């Protein structure tokens, strides 16, 4: 449920990415009600494999080393610092 007032609507973009790989379900804030939540939870309890599949899809789409990769990219863009990360 992305927050509709988030700057540049980045939460919706992130939620779409997770939804597209099957790692979750996007429910827009305007459509989110207790009944929608109850229906989703009821589906997940009735068909636990749906949740297991979503978990596996989210894990497969994840990048656990994203912070390290971003740091390498930023350091690589800095002049005369290509070896500083290895020294640290």
Residue 9: predicted pLDDT = 92
CA angle at 69 for the pair 55 and 80, rounded to the nearest 5°: 175
How much is the pTM? 0.68
**Distance separating alpha carbons of residues 15 and 26, to the nearest angstrom:** 6
Residue 33: predicted pLDDT = 97
pLDDT digits (tens, 9 = 90+) for 17-62: 999 999 999 999 999 999 999 999 999 999 999 999 999 999 999 9
Q: Dig out the tokens for 80 from the structure.
A: 């005369």
């Amino acid at each position: 449920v992305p927050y509709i007032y988030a700057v540049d609507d980045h939460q919706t973009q992130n939620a779409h990415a997770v939804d597209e790989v099957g790692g979750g379900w996007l429910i827009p804030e305007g459509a989110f009600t207790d009944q929608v939540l109850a229906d989703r939870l009821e589906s997940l309890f009735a068909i636990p494999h749906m949740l297991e599949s979503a978990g596996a899809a989210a894990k497969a789409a994840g990048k656990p080393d994203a912070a390290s990769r971003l740091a390498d990219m930023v350091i690589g863009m800095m002049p005369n610092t290509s070896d500083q990360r290895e020294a640290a």
